[in-house]
């Protein structure tokens, strides 16, 4: 391995065609259904005003759970609060945060930290897909920041609080897209300033980083009653990609979206992973909806997980 982090030979030997076939089979499966009640639980969801997050919010609320949603838009958050509370009779509060901002992410994490009420389920759902490279004011590639680093920061700031609770389920809405980062993290070019950016490549790198963080957080929480797992939400129709060009949006609307499934399957899977009693000790795993699956070899690299952890502390301004 060189300084870039690429491990071509190592990963090439570890790739298995059977794992690819398993992924293809799993993509056609429906999620398992949890009939258990979520009454009184506090569920925190990021990006809950549309898509998977919105469907998940309604699913948990329909089962009696109270919600705390972390969203960018105040008007949409108010609409969601009114809809959920009037329809289901549960509490639906919100915190405003733009997860492309380090300041907003830290502020939201500390608001969660200061709450007296324990968090029962924490769902990291917020995400974006960009076809062209964008960089945040702090110099971080935007997809990497929103899809990975924001969830890392929140988990890191909350880790002692959650551990002290003795119970919590953290769920990362990840993706089979991590497989696009086939040869691992490029630690020498996390901001894509040295390579040509591509939507699938940038998205894949961010989702790979998410799965590598799973390794380290699972180690930290082991034996504490806190679990952390990742889930591919299925090929579902969401509003992701609206920041892109009219050409891309037209392609998505007229071709791609017609092949996709409803977000309700993602919500069903998230509820199952968040509530089903038999999963309360399962941690550090990757699910395709509700089916256990082995991720690509780069996502199982403990050495790179350690390296990414240290890099993320610096990028996320978490040192000291």
pLDDT exceeds 70 at position 58: yes
pLDDT exceeds 60 at position 2: no
1 vs 42: which has the higher pLDDT: 42
Q: How many of the other CB atoms lie within 10 Å of CB of 215?
A: 19
253 vs 24: which has the higher pLDDT: 24
pLDDT exceeds 70 at position 119: yes
Is 254 a member of any domain?
A: no
pLDDT exceeds 80 at position 247: no
**What local confidence, expressed as pLDDT, does residue 78 receive?**
98
**What local confidence, expressed as pLDDT, does residue 12 receive?**
82
* Closest to 186 (Cα-Cα) out of 312, 11, 6, 1: 6
- Compute CA distances 57 → 44, 53, 113, whole Å: 9, 6, 21
Is 111 a member of any domain?
A: yes
Whole-angstrom Cα distance, residue 77 to residue 67? 12
- Mean pLDDT, residues 84-103 taken together: 98
Is 102 a member of any domain?
A: yes
Is residue 45 a contact partner of residue 70, using CB atoms and an 8 Å limit? yes
**What local confidence, expressed as pLDDT, does residue 258 receive?**
41
- Mean pLDDT, residues 110-126 taken together: 97
pLDDT exceeds 70 at position 206: yes
pLDDT exceeds 50 at position 256: no
Is 40 a member of any domain?
A: yes
| pLDDT interval class at 232 (50, 70, 90) | very high
**What local confidence, expressed as pLDDT, does residue 267 receive?**
95
**What local confidence, expressed as pLDDT, does residue 10 receive?**
83
Domain that holds residue 68: 8-235+262-315
DSSP secondary structure letter of residue 241: T
Is 230 a member of any domain?
A: yes
Is 165 a member of any domain?
A: yes
DSSP assignment string, 152-218: HHHHHHHHHHHHHHT-EEEEEE--GGGGGSTT---TT-TT-SSS---HHHHHHHHHHHHHHHHHHHH
Whole-angstrom Cα distance, residue 227 to residue 250? 40
Residue 129, classed as helix, strand or coil, is coil
The structure's pTM equals 0.90
**What local confidence, expressed as pLDDT, does residue 95 receive?**
98
- The mean pLDDT value of the chain amounts to 90
Is 257 a member of any domain?
A: no
**What local confidence, expressed as pLDDT, does residue 123 receive?**
98
Is 288 a member of any domain?
A: yes
CATH of the domain at 21: 3.40.50.720
Q: What share of the chain is helix, strand, coil (3-state, %, to 5)?
A: 50, 15, 40
* CB within 8 Å of 48: residues ≥ 6 apart: 54, 56, 57, 67, 69, 70, 71, 80, 94, 125
Tens-place pLDDT, residues 260-313: 677 899 999 999 999 999 999 999 999 999 999 999 999 999 999 999 999 999
**What local confidence, expressed as pLDDT, does residue 236 receive?**
57
Angle at 155 between CA 125 and CA 314, to 5 degrees: 110
Count of domains for the chain: 1
């Amino acid at each position: 391995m060189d300084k870039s982090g690429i491990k071509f030979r190592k990963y090439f030997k570890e790739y298995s065609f059977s794992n690819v076939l398993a992924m293809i089979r799993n993509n056609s499966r429906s999620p398992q259904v949890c009939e258990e009640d979520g009454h009184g639980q506090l569920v925190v969801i990021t990006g809950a005003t549309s898509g998977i997050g919105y469907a998940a919010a309604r699913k948990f609320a329909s089962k009696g759970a109270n919600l705390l949603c972390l969203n960018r838009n105040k008007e949409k958050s108010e609409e969601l609060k009114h809809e959920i509370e009037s329809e289901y009779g549960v509490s639906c509060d919100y915190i405003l945060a733009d997860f492309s901002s380090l300041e907003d992410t830290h502020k939201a994490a500390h608001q969660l930290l200061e709450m007296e009420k324990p968090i029962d389920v924490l769902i990291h759902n917020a995400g974006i897909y960009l076809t062209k490279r964008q960089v945040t004011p702090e110099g971080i590639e935007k997809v990497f920041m929103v899809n990975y680093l924001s969830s890392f920061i929140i988990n890191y700031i909350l880790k002692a609080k959650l551990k002290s609770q003795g119970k919590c389920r953290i769920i990362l809405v990840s993706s089979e897209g991590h497989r696009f980062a086939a040869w691992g993290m490029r630690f020498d070019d996390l901001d894509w300033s040295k390579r040509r950016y591509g939507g699938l490549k940038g998205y894949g790198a961010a989702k790979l980083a998410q799965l590598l963080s799973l390794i380290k957080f699972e180690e930290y929480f082991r034996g504490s009653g806190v679990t952390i797992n990742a889930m591919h939400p299925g090929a579902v129709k969401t509003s992701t990609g609206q920041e892109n060009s009219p050409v891309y949006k037209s392609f998505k609307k007229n071709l791609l979206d017609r092949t996709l499934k409803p977000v309700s399957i993602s919500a069903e899977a998230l509820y199952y992973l968040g509530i089903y009693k038999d999963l309360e000790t399962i941690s550090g795993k990757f699910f395709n909806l509700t089916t256990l699956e082995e991720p690509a070899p780069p996502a199982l690299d403990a050495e790179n997980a350690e390296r990414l952890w240290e890099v993320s502390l610096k990028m996320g301004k978490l040192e000291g």
